[in-house]
Every structure is written in C-alpha cells, then in structure tokens.
Structure 1
Amino acid sequence: MFDLDRWQEIFQTLSKNKLRTALSGFTIAFAILLFTLLFGVGNGLKHTFEKQFASDAVNSVYIYGGRTTKPYKGMQSGRTIQYRNDDEKFINEKFEKEIQFFSPNIQRSMQVIYKGEQNRYTVRGVYPDYQPLESAVIQDGRFLTYLDIERRAKVVAIGRLVEKDLFGNLGGLGKNLNIEGISYKVVGVFNDPGGDNDERYIYAPFSTIQGMYKPNDELDYFGLTFNPEMNVDQALAFSNLLTTLLKEKHNVDPRDQGAIRVRNYAEGTRDVQSFMLVLNVIILFIGIGTLVAGIIGISNIMVYIVKERTKELGIRKALGATPKSIVGMIMLESIFVTALAGYSGLMIGVFTLRALGDTLEKYFILNPSVETYVVVGATVVLIIAGTIAGYIPAKRASRIKPIVALNDE
C-alpha cells in the first residue's frame, strides 16, 4: 500500500493518460456533486417547513370564537361567541388529563413609549403557561409568574426586537415602559425561533390586562398544549371533542363551522410529516439513481482502461510481474482516483450549498445543507464500487498469457 515505487508508477501512468484520468475522475466527482446538491436542497425544504412550525409548540391548540352561521334553539344566526373565565374552568375540568399547558389570552395593539422612542406593539395578557406555547426563550430576566397574576402586577416580558427598537444597545431589563399611559416594569427579554414578528410581542399578566380592558371577565381566545404522549389521532380526537363540547355550552349548531374555531397543530404536523416522508423517498430514490449511474460509469471506464492497457500488462507479465501485483496496481489506481475525485465532488457540493445560502429562500429552500455522514457514506460506496470495478477486469487481465496480450490489437 505504501510502496513508494508503486505510487510513483501510478502517478506516471495517470500523468501519461491525462484525458482518461480526467474523464474517470469527472464521472465520479459529478455523481457525488449531484448527490450532495440533491440532498442539500431536500434538507433546505425540510428546514423551511420546520421554521413554519418553530413559532409555536408542535402540540399547540388554539381556541377562537367567531360568529354563528346557523340559527339554533330559537336563536338567530350572526351571534358573536364571547369566551369568559368560566370557559377556562369548563375546559380544564373536562380535559384535565389531556391538557399540558393552558392560558387564556387577551390581545390588543397599544402605543408603547420609552423616553423619546415610541411605537405600536401587540400586547398580550397571558398566563405563565403561554411561554412554551410560543416557544419563547428568555435571554434576560424572567417570564411572567403566577405571583404576577395574583397581584395583578404591572410587569411585562418584551421581545428582543422591542428592546432593540426602544432601548437600542442599552438593554431594557429593569426599566419602565409607558403603555397607553400606564407604567410597566420590564422583567424579561425573550427571543423566539418564529422570527421577527414573534419578537415584537409584549407579554403582560392576564389578570392585569383583563382588569383594565375587558369587562365581565371577557377574553379573546385560549391557547393550550395537549399531553405530548398523545399520538396524532388521539390529539385530533381530543380537539374534535373539545369543539363539540364548546358548541353545546354556547348553544351552537353542531354543523356550524364558524362559531367555534379550534386550530390543532397536530393536523399540520401530520401533513408535514407525510410530505417530508414522500420528499425523503424521492430524494433517496434520485440519490441512489445518481450513485448507480456513477457506479456504471466507473465500471465502464475501468473495463476500457484495463483493455487499453492489455499490451502493457502483457509486458509486465513477460518481465516477471505476478498476477497479484498487476491486480493490486490497477485496484490501487482505481481507489486513488475514485477517492480523490469523490472528495473533490463532495467539497464542490458543500461549498456550492454554502455559497447559495439564503439566496434560495424565495424558492422555499432555507439553509440548504447536507449531513457529513450522508455524503461521506455515498463517497465510500463509490470507492467500494470503484474497487470492485477495477478488480474484476484486472483479475481477468492478469490471467491473460503474455504472448496473447502482446498480440492484442
């Protein structure tokens, strides 16, 4: 393997046959390059769908009220379904085992001022349980607590971009914001994987916001997460039963689709998982096809190379070369060319994906990349194929008698 004379001989052979070497190397490099790009684009599509669901927990359920579209039990259509605090108690009593986190929500657009800076932001009155629903990650301070709810404290947790807008590089933790004429202390700053929009929210205690802006215990909607041990079918059955019971409580026709609206992320997750499974199968099929094409190309080239060198091999045998040394030389040359070209194709593919970067976002391809083990595995497969492709014709050629090889045309 590390015989210097043999390696010198291999390099001399390659340098004397530049076109042949270039063609065989190109076939291998192109196969790995195409394989890398295909998997990179496929991963980019997966990243896009993952980002769409990053703004909320994958087991989230949101319950909204609407207007009735059908008359029911003597009541006219067009009634507005208004949720109140007793709906919160009703839901938690009926589904105690199915619910993991739960929070009512009041949402308003408000003018927020800090010294000379001001802007309008969406302020949400929530429970502490709302944090995992939105996948908000605290970077400074803390989120809301149930003690804040109990005391109706005038405190807020603000998004990273709210802090940037109003405080610049000074940081907002511990400072006071003027929200619609009322002073609130900033107790936490969060970031959110959902992106810029989700980082421009302000969260305040639910009891504080409800007491100021919602008479008669009114609220806007509910957010909850279901037990993560539930599978997709169980989660969908849970949300369907929840919808049915809320319709009964609010005297809504069971066929009315507009009055009680329940958005269950489990359904979207199932659809995405199905789509990604199909996408992975397609990419895998194309990738395997690419590798098979590369293997066929290597095999054909190696057969041609060995046939072209029949006279050379005959001379070697006439000068005393053993069949084993001839086979070893051809295989080593095959492995070297395959490994070098495969690595080159891999590097070109990886750098191409990095160069494209975010430029493919408009085509719904986010951060196209490929796992190292995937392309390394594909390269190893090609190297093994190149070894086998070199061994079979080399073994056949090593059995030819020198006189026959020398007379070969």
Structure 2
Amino acid sequence: MFSRDRWQEIFETIRKNKLRTFLSGFTVALGILIFTVLFGMGNGLKNTFYEFFLDDATNILFVYPGRTTMPYKGFKQGRQIQFKNDDLEDIKKDFAFYLDYITPRLGRSGLAKYKVESNSYNIRAVAPSHQLNEKTIIMKGRYINENDILNKSKNIVIGRLVEIDLFGKEEDALGKYIDIDNIAYKVIGVFQDDGGDNEERRIYMPYTTRQLIEKGTDKIDMMVVAFRKELGYAGAMAFERDLYKYMKDKHNIAPDDQNGMYIQNMADILQQNMAFANVLQLVVLFVGIGTLIAGVIGISNIMVFVVKERTKELGVRKALGATPGSVIGLVLQESIFITTIAGFIGLFLGIGTLSLIGNKLKDYFITNPEVGLGTVIFATVLLIFFGVIAGYVPARRAARIKPIVALRDE
C-alpha cells in the first residue's frame, strides 16, 4: 500500500489516461454529491418540524369543546358543549399527579386605538401560565400575573409589532393606555415571539377581565393543559385518555361520540411528524446510496476496461514473477485512490451546496439543510468500501491472467 514505486506507477497511469480518470472520478463525485445534498435536505425537513413544534411547548394538551352527535343520559344530540371555570379547578384537583399547569383561553378580536393610530388585533384572554405554553419572551414590563386574574384588572400585554403599529419606533408603550372596543387598558408589558409576525401582533389580557366584560360569564373557549415532562410519551398518552374520559363523563357526552369534545396532544403530533420525517429521510438515504452505488458501478466498469487495456502489461508482470496478490493490490489501490479523492471532492461540493442553500428553501419546508460529522464519517467509510468492491472484481480478473495468454492479446 505504501510502496513508493507502486504510487509512482499509479500516478503515471493517471497522467497518461486523464479522460478515463476524470470520467471514473466524476461518476463517484456526482454520486456522493447527490447523496450529501439529499441527506442534508432530509435533515432540513426535520429541522422545519422541530422549528414548527418547538416554538411552543410540546408537553401540551389542547382541549376543545364540540357539539354532540348522539343523545346521552336524556340529553339530545346537537348539544353544544361549553367549558367553564369549574372545569379548570376540577382538573387541577383530580389530575394533580399529571399536571404541570393549566390555562383557559378565550379568543376574540378587537379594534385597538392609540391617539390617531388604530388597527384590529387578535386578543387572547388567558391565565399567567399561558406564557409557558407560547414561550412568550417579555421584552419590557411583565406578563399577566395572579393579581390581575383575582382583581380582573384591565391590564394587557402587547406584541412587539402592536407597539410599533400604534406607538411607532420612538414612543414607549409601557404604562400607556390603549382603547380596545371603547374600553381603556393599561399596557404592562411588551413581548416578542419566535413564531413570527402573527404571534407578535397579538394582545393578551386576564381571562377574568374578558369574562367580566362579557356580562360576568364564567365560560371559556378551550383549555391548555400541560403535563409534567418526566411522564414521557407513554405518560402523555395515558393522561390524554384519562382526561378525555373524565371530561366526557363530566359533560354527559356519550363514550362513542367523537365530536362532543376534542383533545389535541402536541407530544403525539410531534412524535408522528418526526416519525414521518425519519421515514422520509430513510427514503432519501436509500435514493442517495443508490445514486452512489450507480457511480461506483460506473467506476467498476471503467476498471474492467482498464484491466482489459493493460492485459499485456499485466501478463509481462506475471511472467517476471509478480504474484496474484501484487496484481490485485495494484488495481485495487488505483481504484480506491480514485474513488476516495473523487468522493471527498463530491462530499465537499455537497457540503458547500448545502451551505449556499442555507434557509433559501424555507418556503418549501427545508430549514438549514446540513450533514453532521457522523454522516460525513459514514459516507467516507461507505465510499472506501465501495471503492474496494469497484476494484476487486476487475483486480481478481487481472490476477487470473496467464502470462502466455496475455502476451498473445491484441
């Protein structure tokens, strides 16, 4: 392997057959390039899933009321289920083992005004723990607290873009009053959110304040229920089943009625989507490996032609005492050398291509496509392995050439 004479001979052969060497290397480089880019795209798809789901907490159950589709316990079908404040307290009491926190959510829209500026915004009435669910980042001031809930305070937290819309970039919104549907609210905080512009154009207020405005009702639209992370996926699924049955019993919904209420389990959705992404990446991986194998088959075919072309030369070598092992070693070494160099070129080109792509394909659900160190090592080992396979068959044929037959070859 480290014979100086052998390396000189390999380089001399490459120098005399530039086109053949280029074509051999090109097929391998193209194969590893496609493999790297495809694998990186698969990682980019997984990154998109992570980014989409991890903007909010994933240990969450969203509990929505629905409309019944069958009669039950004397209640007619078509009954609209309505959650109330006592549902929050009952869940806190009966599911203390599972529970991390719980918050109601009431969604409304309203026209917000400040001086001459006005705009319509999505308004969410929530409890303090809602900040944990949305991973809301307070830029200045504070979030809604328990005192706001108890006192039904007319305090609000506004998004970064709401502040820019109504106050401009120079004026500070903190401590100012905004008119929303003819009611004055004090801005106690300004937040930002990695979820994008839509999230940063929201306004949050205490849910009890919203209920007070709506004629002192205790109704809530839905509940955000967070379970303890240490429960894991299996615990999350068990919690979902128990909570689903509990709420159905509480609101007199038939066990088989699938529309009376809904639970959206973020842990389950994340698990399913990541499983889909992994399967898709495996498909991409097989396609990439198939492309790589096609390139190696190309170099194997070229090496067969090389052996045929050098039949006389190899016959002379054997006549002068060259062993079959040395002939195999010569052909194999040349094949592995070309495969490895071309493969690394393709690998670096692939990494460079992914780097140039960056987040330009984010609209197509590809975020920061990249390949890790483990993948690079795997590709390198795979490349050398295929290089051995590509060279072995023609090398073995070369080793079997009889000197007398080789010398007669035309």
1:380/1:243 Cα in 2 relative to 1: closer, same or farther (>3 Å)? closer
Q: Per-residue deviation at 1:153?
A: 4.4
Per-residue deviation, 1:26: 1.5
- Inter-partner Cα distance in structure 2 for 1:317 and 1:220: 87
State the shift of 1:29 in Å: 1.0
CA distance in 2, matches of 1:88, 1:65: 13
- Residue 191 of structure 2 corresponds to which residue in structure 1? 189
CA apart distance, 1:105: 1.8
- In structure 2, what is the equivalent of residue 145 of structure 1? 145
For 1:375-402, what per-residue CA distance to the aligned partner results, in whole angstroms no more than 9, with x for missing partners?
A: 4421332134324644675577578787
Letter in 1 for 2:186: Y
What is the match of residue 88 of structure 1? 88
What letter is aligned with 1:371?
G
Partner of 2:273: 272
Report matched runs for 1:94-133 at 5 Å: 94-133=94-133
Specify the alignment match of 1:260 in structure 2: 261
The equivalent residue for 1:246 is 247
The amino acid that maps onto 1:125 is A
Shift of 1:75: 4.0
Asked whether the 8 Å contact 2:191–2:200 carries over to 1, the reply is no
Other-structure match for 1:215? 216
Q: Report if the CA contact (8 A) 2:125-2:210 is conserved.
A: yes
1: CA distance, partners of 2:320 / 2:170: 83
Task: Look up the match of 2:158.
Answer: 158
Task: Tell me the SS of whatever aligns to 1:37.
Answer: helix
CA contact (8 A) 2:61 2:265 kept: yes
Q: Is contact 2:174–2:188 with CA below 8 Å preserved after alignment? A: yes
- AA at the equivalent of 2:193: N
The answer to whether the Cα contact below 8 Å between 1:55 and 1:198 also exists between their aligned partners in 2 is no
Q: Do the aligned residues in 2 keep the contact of 1:32 with 1:375 (CA within 8 Å)? A: no
Deviates more, 1:275-284 or 1:91-100: 275-284
Letter matched to residue 250 of structure 1: H
Equivalent residue number for residue 229 of structure 1: 230
Specify the alignment match of 2:38 in structure 1: 38
Q: Does structure 2 conserve the Cα–Cα contact (< 8 Å) formed by 1:125 and 1:209?
A: yes
Q: How many pairs does the alignment contain?
A: 408
- Residue 17 (structure 1) shift: 0.9
* CA shift in 2, pair 1:99/1:22, >3 Å: same
Deviation, 1:88, is 1.0
Change (3 A) 1:3 1:118: farther
RMSD: 3.7
CA 1:407–1:250 in structure 2 vs 1: closer, same or farther (change >3 Å)?
same
Distance 1:239 1:317, change over 3 A: closer
**Closer, same or farther in 2 for the Cα pair 1:9/1:255, shift >3 Å?**
closer
Cα deviations across residues 27-69 of structure 1 (Å, max 9, x unaligned)?
Answer: 1012112212322332343334334434432221112223344
* Residue 235 to residue 324, structure 1, CA distance change in 2 (3 Å): closer
Taking a change above 3 Å as real, the CA distance of residues 78 and 343 of structure 1, as seen in their structure-2 partners, is same
Give deviations 1:55-97, integer Å, cap 9, x for gaps: 4322211122233444444444444333222111111111111
Decide which moves more: 92-101 or 388-397. 388-397
Q: Shift of residue 127 of structure 1?
A: 1.9
Q: Unaligned stretches of 5+ in structure 1?
A: none
**Change in CA separation of 1:113 and 1:254 when aligned onto 2, cut-off 3 Å:** same
Cα separation, 1, equivalents of 2:16 and 2:171? 67
**Displacement of 1:178:** 0.4
Which sits farther off after the overlay, 108-117 or 25-34? Answer: 108-117
Q: Give the residue type in structure 2 aligned to 1:308.
A: E
Distance 1:9 1:126, change over 3 A: same
Deviation at 1:20, TM superposition (A): 0.8
In the alignment, structure 2 segments of 5+ residues that lack a partner are none
My pick for the range that moved more, 85-94 or 163-172, is 163-172
| Residue range with higher mean Cα deviation, 34-43 or 92-101 | 34-43
Aligned residue in 2 for 1:342: 343
2:47, 2:400 → 1: CA distance?
54
1-structure distance, mates of 2:259, 2:402? 87
Task: Give, in whole Å, the separation in 1 of the partners of 2:305 and 2:283.
Answer: 33
1:315–1:142 distance in 2 versus 1, CA, 3 Å: farther
C-alpha distance in structure 2 between counterparts of 1:334 and 1:171, whole Å? 70
Q: Report the secondary structure of 1:251's partner residue.
A: coil
Structure 2: distance between partners of 1:145 and 1:230: 27
Q: Distance in 1 between matches of 2:153 and 2:288?
A: 58
After the TM superposition, which residues 55-66 of structure 1 pair with which residues of structure 2 at under 5 Å, given as runs? 55-66=55-66
CA distance in 2, matches of 1:161, 1:2: 66
What residue number does 1:380 align with?
381
- Report the alpha carbon displacement of residue 322 of structure 1 after superposing the two structures with TM: 9.2
Q: TM-score, normalised by structure 1?
A: 0.82
Task: Give the direction of change, closer, same or farther, for the CA distance of 1:392–1:165 in structure 2 (3 Å limit).
Answer: same
Q: Structure 1 residue 24: deviation in Å?
A: 0.7
CA contact (8 A) 2:143 2:188 kept: no
1:141-182 per-position Cα deviation (integer Å, ceiling 9, x unaligned): 543333443454444333343344344544856352504131
Residue of structure 2 in register with 1:303 after alignment: 304
Moved more, 52-61 or 104-113: 52-61
Give the stretch that moved more between structures: 93-102 or 204-213: 204-213
- C-alpha displacement of 1:241: 2.8
Deviations 1:288-315 (A, max 9, x none): 3333333333333333323423444566
**1:10 CA drift (Å):** 4.3
Three-state SS of the structure 1 residue aligned to 2:143 is coil
Residue type of the alignment partner of 1:122: N
* Per-residue deviation, 1:217: 2.5
In the TM superposition, 1:288-367 aligns within 5 A as: 288-313=289-314, 330-355=331-356, 360=361, 363-367=364-368
8 Å Cα contact 2:136/2:191 also seen in 1 = no
